A and B are shown apart, each in its own frame.
Chain A
């Protein structure tokens, strides 16, 4: 796409105004997923499998149906592959349906089996207890290495695609290999080669708002759905397919969303609520409980990884090789390719090879979680680089600078980088007072780099002007962390009107063209680009109207600071005309003035971050305290710097939880052991220090204002940075996350036994 030359002299972009939805959110008025009701509404509840793997032999709903409070019960028979026998659903949509409601087999603890709609939430839960399910329990596997072993139970025959080499276990369903050069020759040139094995556990996105929706679907195939989601067009498309109705007949409105981080990019309960509504002919509200969120929505993949890196004595990486096994749960789709491609992306490598395996097991289907795959890969790779630096007695930032990818570098995953900002983040890290601050005894310092691709995606934005010169913008990407503010700032910049004169609305699926999900750090980039272009479209029309009023040619008007200004030899002599004067008379000069833009922008621009962290390990208990944390990341251009900082800080905090505490714990029976926040403990305020941030701005050539995505890159470095800090503090390296107190204590005791 041809873009304008980049703008750098901003008047509004880069300022920090209050967010437009702030008041609603501090007064409790904002309407989230579970906050809406409809007349005659029923409450839904879902029966879930208590087994990790079991054949469903028979479901008897008669006792539940006999209750007067119960208005509908649905099972798999109420979805489209059953009600529309041929051709049925294929590919990913079949997987989505199978996950939403089990077919012949329950594939994980928590897999949905049946659902009830009743007159109250308590009545619905009571009714679930009366549904009788006869299971034949099957052997299960919940560990990625075991799931690849020869004798592992097969989750689903025939799920693997063409990419998988012959001879692999049927649970290996996707295979990725990329790289360039000759790694063996590279290792031969190294003065030191380090090869290590790492594992990470699955972690949950941990948004505080459980999934919730309110569905209404009639026998005529027309419906409405209100839900908390990162992408309501995706919800519309998939629900329509699963229910066997026409997409356009289902109008989906996104509520305010209480966090997502990738976990609200797919559907879980929405098709179930629609099926219950169709059957009962009443609106149905369905809200997940927290244990349901943990058991049946997307955690990340767990991993098993082997990393081998060779380095010369002066710190040049001669070769790098990685093998990444990702456990994606009971369906294909673990980000094995992303993990492999991100692993070595920060470095300019002559010889590099990465291999990824997507492996199925009896766990919930993994979902995207902030830069899917990249944090785990960075943990393994950056730990090995840290180990090389220690053994060769080299400064970790200097080594990374020596090997850093720059503009023109051939990326480990293939293409050449355009303008990127990794070196700038490393230089800023080196210069930051944190990096040279003295450490107390028992403390260690770690650093790590991280990389994420960022994303464009289908985007449509409409903007309309009012007679009083104010503006309203309809965007299709749910505001998950302040994007209304960014959109308003970008439009204000182009139109030259105050930020406060702009209202940003998250449009529903009936009022705007298709919009891709709020994921891939795409919103400020793609919706922002579309907002700028829509505003420019409006500016062109405004200029034309001014020309009409002045009676001069269209091309004799330019737009400056919110005013039409005559320009050029044939323009004549007129005072600048403010936007509000043009809109006041727009009915007389040609009618309403609006701007529109739709495209699939492809210049997202990759981004990099460098994190510095200090950690203190208690040798008696193995407990780690993070004592200082600094995030340095390239934002391209920070539209609203405060919210950029917030993304940086939030990513770091989630990374701290992942590194130190959070994990899915499975019992021998294949059931999740810690499906509540008390046992799956995300960081609380007293676990964390203030998190310092440095915003680096190396403009993205693919965006009119230079924006790169910021939401995901911030979680790429923390796992490794903390692992490196813990390793420095404890004097022992851990090869498994989370580095919980028992794991650290065991490593310390092993070390003590070794050294006597």
Chain B
């Protein structure tokens, strides 16, 4: 069938190399070729946000990026959020506030929320709600998620 292409990139700070079909999404590459299954496929059309990652610091749906497009780029996924055994404040607050029920949307929401707090360390509730509007959660009604993000933001502001 189609010829595979060799790609070099960085994932969570580690240099990686992979071969992929030019039609393969970055999400499929992460999950099936690099065994990083933290990013989830909920829709494949960029509507649910479960596959959120950052590409050179920019928040994207990895199902809308081709694996070959990541050549030479820096990819960050949920697996890279914690520093060793220390959880990121967002991760800890999601546990503390029970901001997850089934947990399938959690990796994408954490990546998206981290991107928000890097851009705006002091978001209002409305800003958090609009920023996370691209991340669907069907279990929680979002209440506890929004509270967890606001609380993490407050803690990170205090710490900085």
User: Which residues from 131 to 160 on chain B have a C-beta closer than 8 Å to any C-beta of chain A?
Assistant: 132-147
Q: How far is the CA of A257 from the CA of B138 in the complex (A)?
A: 13
Chain B, range 17-69, C-beta contacts under 8 Å to A: 21, 23-24, 28, 31-32, 35-45, 47-48, 50
* Cβ–Cβ < 8 Å partners of A35 in chain B: 31, 37
Cα distance A653–B129 in the bound complex, in angstroms:
14
Give, as a whole number of angstroms, the nearest-CB distance from B18 to chain A: 14
- Give which listed residue, B40, B48, B100, contacts A677 with CB less than 8 A: B48
Given contacts A18-B96, A650-B101, A685-B133, contact A261 B81 (CB under 8 A): no
A19, B103: Cα distance in complex, Å:
12
Q: For B103, list chain A residues within 8 Å (CB).
A: 21, 25, 30, 256, 258
Residues from chain A with Cβ under 8 Å of B137 in the complex = 208, 685
CA distance A34 to B98 in the complex (A): 24
Report the Cα distance A121→B32, complex, angstroms: 10
Cα–Cα, bound, A652→B141 (Å): 7
- Determine whether the beta carbon of B38 is less than 8 Å from that of A27: yes
Q: Residues of B contacting A18 with CB < 8 Å?
A: 95-96, 98
Question: Is the CB–CB distance between B143 and A691 below 8 Å?
Answer: yes
How far apart sit A237 and B120, CA to CA, in the bound complex (Å)?
A: 52
**Which residue on chain B has the smallest CB distance to residue A289?**
B44
Please determine whether A643 and B98 come into contact, CB atoms closer than 8 angstroms: yes
User: Is A123 interfacial (CB 8 A cutoff)?
Assistant: yes
Does residue A207 face the partner (Cβ distance < 8 Å to B)? yes
Q: In the complex, what distance in Å separates the CA atom of A104 from the CA atom of B30?
A: 40
- In the complex, the answer to whether B101 meets A481 with C-beta atoms within 8 Å is yes
Q: Report if A28-B95 is in contact (Cβ < 8 Å); known contacts: A646-B139, A650-B101, A678-B45.
A: no
- Size class of the contact patch on chain B: 35 or more
Any B CB within 8 A of the CB of A676: yes
**Which residues on the B side are within 8 Å of A683 (C-beta)?**
142
| Set of chain B residues within 8 Å of A299, measured between Cβ atoms | none
Task: Provide the residues of chain B in CB contact with A688, threshold 8 Å.
Answer: 129, 141-143
Contacts of B32 in A (CB 8 A): 37, 121
Cα of A480 to Cα of B129 in the assembled complex, Å:
24
Cβ of A31 under 8 Å from chain B: yes
Give Cα distance in the complex from A29 to B41, angstroms: 15
Contact: B130 with A686, CB < 8 Å? yes
Known: A208-B136, A686-B130, A688-B142. A32 touches B104 (CB 8 A): yes
Indicate which residue in A205, A208, A287, A643 contacts B105 across the interface (CB closer than 8 Å): A208
Cross-chain contact B79 with A685 (CB below 8 angstroms):
no
Minimal beta-carbon separation of B113 from chain A (angstroms): 11
Bound together, the chains give a CA A687 to CA B47 distance in angstroms of 15
Q: Give complex CA distance A688, B45 in Å.
A: 23
Counting chain A CB atoms within 10 Å of each CB, the highest count among B38, B102, B137 belongs to B102
Q: Does residue A26 face the partner (Cβ distance < 8 Å to B)?
A: yes
Alpha-carbon separation in the docked complex, A208 to B40 (Å): 9
Contact call B143/A690, Cβ cutoff below 8 A: yes
Q: Is residue A126 contacting chain B, with contact meaning CB distance below 8 A?
A: yes
How long is the Cα–Cα vector from A256 to B144 in the complex, in angstroms?
A: 21
Task: Verify if A482 is at the interface (C-beta below 8 Å from B).
Answer: yes
C-alpha gap A481/B101 in the complex (Å): 4
Q: Tell me the bound Cα distance from A256 to B95 in angstroms.
A: 17
| A285 nearest CB neighbor, chain B only | B32
Q: Does A177 contact B (CB under 8 A)?
A: no
Residues on A with C-beta less than 8 A from B135 are: 684-685
In the assembled complex, the CB of A673 is this many whole angstroms from the nearest CB of chain B, namely: 15
User: 1/0 contact trace for A614-647 toward B, CB 8 Å?
Assistant: 0000000000000000000000000000110111
Query: B-facing mask of A661-703, CB < 8 A → 1, else 0?
Result: 0000000000000001110001111111011000000000000
Q: Does A561 contact B (CB under 8 A)?
A: no
Q: Name the residue on A nearest B47 (C-beta).
A: A677
Is A686's CB under 8 angstroms from B100's CB? no
Interface residues of A in 12-49 (CB under 8 A from B): 16, 18-19, 21-23, 25-32, 34-35, 37
Q: Which residues of A lie under 8 Å from residue B102 when comparing CB positions?
A: 207-209, 256-260, 480-481
Measured CB to CB, the closest approach of chain A to B41, in angstroms, equals: 7
Mask: chain B, 116-132; 1 = CB below 8 Å from A; 0 = not: 00000000011011101
Is A120 located at the chain interface by the 8 A CB criterion?
yes
Closest residue of chain A to B96, judged by CB?
Answer: A18
**In-complex Cβ contact of B95 among A26, A122, A209, A261 (8 A):** A26
A654 contacts which of B23, B50, B104, B138 (Cβ < 8 Å)? B138
Describe A's contact surface by its main secondary structure.
Answer: loop
Minimum C-beta distance from B2 to chain A (A): 8
CB interface residues, B 71-94, toward A, < 8 Å: 77-79, 81-82, 87, 91, 94
Whether the Cβ atoms of B138 and A27 lie closer than 8 Å is no
State the CA gap A691–B47 with chains docked (Å): 24
Q: Is B11 an interface residue (CB 8 A)?
A: no
Contact B94 A259 (CB under 8 A): no
CB < 8 Å: which of A122, A206, A207, A646 contacts B98?
A646
The winner among A35, A259, A652 for most chain B CB atoms within 10 A is: A259
Assess whether A685 is in contact with B132, with CB atoms less than 8 Å apart.
yes
- Asked if A682 and B136 sit within 8 Å, CB to CB, the answer is yes
**Which residues in A have their C-beta under 8 angstroms from that of B70?**
none
With contact pairs A649-B141, A685-B135 given, residues A209 and B45 touching in the complex (Cβ less than 8 Å): no
| B45 and A677 form a contact (CB under 8 A) | yes
Q: Which residue of A lies closest to B50 (CB)?
A: A208
Alpha-carbon distance between A32 and B126 when the two chains are bound, in angstroms = 31
Please, which residue of chain B has its CB at the minimum distance from the CB of A690?
B143
Residues A34 and B41 in contact, CB atoms below 8 Å apart = yes
CB atoms of B136 and A482 under 8 A apart: no
Does A290 touch B at the CB level, under 8 Å? yes
Docked-complex contact B138 and A206, CB < 8 angstroms:
yes
A481→B100 CA distance, assembly (Å): 8
A536 within 8 Å of B (CB atoms): no
Q: A688 to B141: give the CA distance in the assembly, Å.
A: 8
A387 on interface, CB distance cutoff 8 Å: no
> B133: which A residues are within 8 A, CB to CB?
684-687
Given contacts A19-B98, A122-B23, A481-B102, contact A258 B110 (CB under 8 A): no
Q: Which of A507-555 contact B (CB under 8 A)?
A: none
In the complex, how many angstroms separate the beta carbon of A197 from the nearest chain B beta carbon? 31
B41 touches A210 (CB 8 A): yes
Query: Cβ of B1 and Cβ of A126 under 8 Å apart?
Result: yes
Across the interface, do B100 and A25 meet the contact criterion of CB distance under 8 Å? yes
Query: Which residues of chain B are near A678, meaning CB under 8 Å?
Result: 45, 47
* A191 lies within 8 A of chain B by Cβ: no
Contacts of A37 in B (CB 8 A): 32, 35
The reply on A78 being an interface residue by CB < 8 A is no
Known contacts A122-B21, A650-B101, A677-B48; decide if A27 and B79 are in contact (CB<8 Å). yes
A32 touching B40 in the complex, CB below 8 Å, given contacts A258-B104, A685-B135: yes
* A677–B43 touching, CB < 8 Å: yes
* B139 adjacent to A290 (CB under 8 Å): no
Question: Are B100 and A26 in touch, CB under 8 angstroms?
Answer: yes
Contact B42 A261 (CB under 8 A): no
For A25, what are the chain B residues with a Cβ–Cβ distance below 8 Å? 100, 103, 106
Please list 18 pairs of residues, one from A and one from B, whose beta carbons are closer than 8 Å in the complex, sorted by A's number.
Answer: A18-B98, A22-B94, A26-B95, A31-B37, A32-B40, A34-B31, A69-B1, A120-B21, A208-B48, A256-B104, A258-B103, A646-B140, A678-B45, A682-B136, A685-B137, A685-B146, A686-B126, A690-B125
Beyond the given pairs A28-B36, A642-B98, 20 more chain A to chain B contacts, judged by CB atoms under 8 angstroms and listed by A's residue number, are A21-B103, A22-B95, A23-B87, A27-B38, A122-B1, A122-B21, A122-B24, A209-B42, A209-B104, A256-B102, A290-B48, A480-B102, A481-B102, A643-B98, A650-B139, A654-B138, A688-B129, A688-B142, A688-B143, A690-B143
The 4 closest A-B pairs by CB, nearest first: A28-B38, A258-B104, A649-B141, A653-B141
Binding site for A on B (CB under 8 A): 1-2, 21, 23-24, 28, 31-32, 35-45, 47-48, 50, 77-79, 81-82, 87, 91, 94-96, 98, 100-107, 110, 125-126, 128-130, 132-147
